[in-house]
Structure formats: C-alpha cells, structure tokens
A = this chain, B = another copy of it.
C-alpha cells in the first residue's frame, strides 16, 4: 500500500514557512509501515486543486489531504475533491449540530459562515474532530483510492489522524521494516562502488543513498507478510553491505557519530579532551549534544590565537614560528598538551585553514591536520577539504570524530 500527502494553502508556498503537516504525516505513516511516495502542496486555487486531486487517483492507494477545510471562501478543499470525484455536497445535520454545540459551549452563537464546514460529499464518512470545528472526511475515491481530508491546524490534524485513521490503516496484511546505515570516511561514489552491485537490482528491500556533511546514509525498507519475514528480507541485504563497508559503517540504528563516540567512551570508561583551532568549538559542541556527555567529556580548548595554543596547551612558541600553526608538529603538540593538561585518557586536536583568507600556495584553504592521542602516543592525519569556511569546519569535525571512533575501536 502506497500513500501520498497533499497539503493545501497558499501560505505553505510563501517564504519562511515550513509545512509541519507533511512532516508529521510522513512520520506517522512511516511508523505504521506506510511509505509515502509523493507529496505535493497546492495553494488555495480550486481549479488546480481539482486537477491535482484527479491525478492522485490511481497513483496511490491512499491520499491524505490537509488544510482548506476552514469556514472561509478561500478554503476550497471540500468543494474541489467533491468535484474531482463527481460527488454532490450535502449538509450533514449531525456535523452542523456538533459545530453549533462547540460554539454554544463557549457562549457564542455559530456564525453563519461555519455552515460550510457541515457540507459533506455524499457517501463520505465523517471523522469527528475532538479539538476543532471542521471534521475529517474519509471518502472512497475513484480507482480504489482511499481519500482522507483532514483540517490544517496541526493539533486537529493529529488528533483526528490518531483517533480515526491510524487504527484502521495499521493492517496485518503487510509489514514494513526500515533500517538506516550510516557511513563515514568515504565519499558517496566510493560507497556506491562498494555496494552498488549488491542492491541495484534488488526490489525488496528498497535501497536509497544520501550524502551530506561528510557522511553517507543508506536507507533500506523491506516488506513482508509479518515482522519476521520483513526483518529477514532486510538482513539478507544488510549483511553483505556490512561486510563490504567494514569499519566505514558506523551506525545501524540511526546513532550520530557523536553518539557512537560517546557510547564507545562510556563503555571503555575513558575520558576525553578536545583542542580545536579551525573548527572553533564545533567538535565540542557536537559531542555535548549527546545527553550524558559530561561523563566523558572533561573540557574543550578553542585555541584560536597562537598565544592561546602556547598558554593553554603548552605548544612551544618556536614550533609555531618555524612550522606554522597549521602543521603536523603543532597539531601533535596540541593533542599532547590537551591530554596532559586536562588529565584525560584521550585527546583530539585539529588545526587548519578554514578560509576564506589565510591560504597560501603551499598551505591552501581547506588544509587540515587532525590528531588523536592517548598514553601510547599520537596519530596525525593530513587532509585537503573542499568548499567554503562552514563546509571546511563541518568536514573537519566529521572526519575528526570518525578518526576518534576508529581509534576507540582499536582500544
């Protein structure tokens, strides 16, 4: 069974607006194993809405529509879907009575304009609204498409969905299981080269790749007659992917890199300190997004100036003078200084040129040194990252956290 979402309202196509309803519905449908294959947003335009409604019939088994069920004349969802399905709109006396009651309970008389909200396409099932005036409507549409109209205010949409829709869609017939695999240290094309042949011609699970900010996400969705079947289908593909990616695969449960690092540190009972130059606090910020990080993260040094590298980390001033602040020997001194001064088991240090200025031919923008260290010594890696300032910071942080993870795996 495939679902699609149609949200209605010109305000949703205005700058600065986020379509919360579509996000909420994608999440709610996903939790009961219903994949969303299409979503669209249409303004308050009856003609366009009728056309869009007609296109939806047959494309998906289930169309969930939100918005445009209010009492005013720019709320055209009810009329447009009735027209698209060739159904007459009739006044539903019980809906009208419920709306009147809602007003009178607060001491008001129902304005005449709200009668519109009691108009129902002939044959539609009314889904009562526990928190507002507009009811939801469930209509058997053309070409075996189930059409569900829900009001736009998120609280009303969610309560009707949870009360009337969710229980009836959670069917025992087919079960879906989704898994996200997260990969660090490899560009998207390298991931594709390693695993493309494994998934390319496989239909179940369905597999998609997404690269962003120095990580690649592999998302697999399997279907089966029951949970065991779906999970077996999933595992049959996940297991060769796991082998092909080895240590590059850092999460199978949606954990972020900082969560994985935190879990490894907690398990090993080790503490950590961070010395950052070009990332300016981003690595420490990410690590402290994890609840409980105060158990292992002792402190962070953002040594932006040369003086602070000397004063806080004990990097020899002459070394900065002779090698430059962005150099292998300085990052090595930084990681050693951080570990010793903070008294932690491990330390991580980065120095680099985030740009846009400060680059030279032999040390261009994007040149970064990353060091990890423990009692046995330090490891230093050199990188040349692409992009502007924000991107260099992001790639550096991601790569540094991954190097820390790999070091923790060796412990």
In the bound complex, CA of A150 to CA of B132 (Å): 41
Proximity string of chain A (277-299) to chain B, C-beta cutoff 8 Å, 1 when within and 0 when not: 00111111101110111100111
Q: How large is the interface on A (under 10, 10 to 19, 20 to 34, 35 or more residues)?
A: 35 or more
- The reply to whether the CB of A375 lies closer than 8 angstroms to some CB of chain B is no
CA distance A208 to B305 in the complex (A): 42
Among candidates B10, B71, B74, B386, residue contacting A189 with C-beta atoms closer than 8 Å? B71
Partner of A281, one of B43, B190, B281, B391: B281
Contacts of A357 in B (CB 8 A): 291-292
Contact flag A39-B41 (CB < 8 Å), given A188-B70, A208-B15, A208-B16: yes
On whether the beta carbons of B284 and A280 are closer than 8 Å, the reply is: yes
Give bound CA distance, A292 to B354, whole Å.
Answer: 10
Using a CB-CB cutoff of 8 Å, which residues 179-222 of chain A contact chain B?
Answer: 188-190, 192-193, 196, 200, 206-212, 217, 219
A13 at the interface (CB under 8 A from B): yes
Interface set, chain A 314-372, CB cutoff 8 A to B: 341-343, 354-357
Contact yes or no, A280 B300, CB < 8 A: yes
Give complex CA distance A111, B107 in Å.
71
Q: A224 within 8 Å of B by Cβ?
A: no
Given the known inter-chain contacts A300-B281, A303-B299, please indicate yes or no for A106 contacting B384, CB distance below 8 A: yes
Q: B312 near A304 (CB under 8 angstroms)?
A: no
A72: which of B17, B38, B70, B209 is its contact (CB, 8 Å)? B209
Residue ID in chain B nearest A117 by CB atoms: B189
B280 pairs with A285, CB closer than 8 A: yes
Q: Is the CB of A14 within 8 A of B41?
A: no
Q: State which residues 147-179 of A face B: CB under 8 Å.
A: 153, 155, 178
Name A287's contact: one of B18, B280, B287, B297 (CB within 8 Å).
B280
> What are the residues of chain B within 8 A of A40 when measuring CB–CB?
38-41
Q: Which residue of B lies closest to A113 (CB)?
A: B189
Given A291-B357, A305-B298, A48-B38 contact (CB < 8 Å):
yes
- A41's nearest neighbour on chain B, judged by CB, is B39
A42 at the interface (CB under 8 A from B): yes
- Is there contact, CB below 8 Å, between A73 and B196? yes
Query: How many Å from the CB of A285 to the closest CB on chain B?
Result: 4
Closest 7 CB pairs of A and B: A280-B288, A300-B302, A281-B281, A281-B284, A299-B308, A281-B285, A16-B210
Q: Which residues of chain A have a CB within 8 Å of any CB of chain B?
A: 9-11, 13-18, 23, 26-27, 30-31, 35-45, 48, 51-52, 55, 59, 70-74, 106-107, 111, 113-114, 131, 153, 155, 178, 188-190, 192-193, 196, 200, 206-212, 217, 219, 274, 276, 279-285, 287-289, 291-294, 297-305, 307-308, 311-312, 341-343, 354-357, 384, 386-391, 393
What are 29 A-B pairs at a CB distance below 8 A?
A: A11-B210, A13-B26, A13-B35, A13-B38, A13-B39, A14-B26, A14-B219, A15-B27, A16-B23, A16-B27, A16-B217, A37-B45, A72-B189, A72-B209, A106-B386, A111-B189, A113-B193, A155-B387, A276-B281, A280-B289, A280-B297, A280-B300, A285-B285, A288-B304, A297-B304, A298-B304, A299-B302, A300-B302, A308-B342
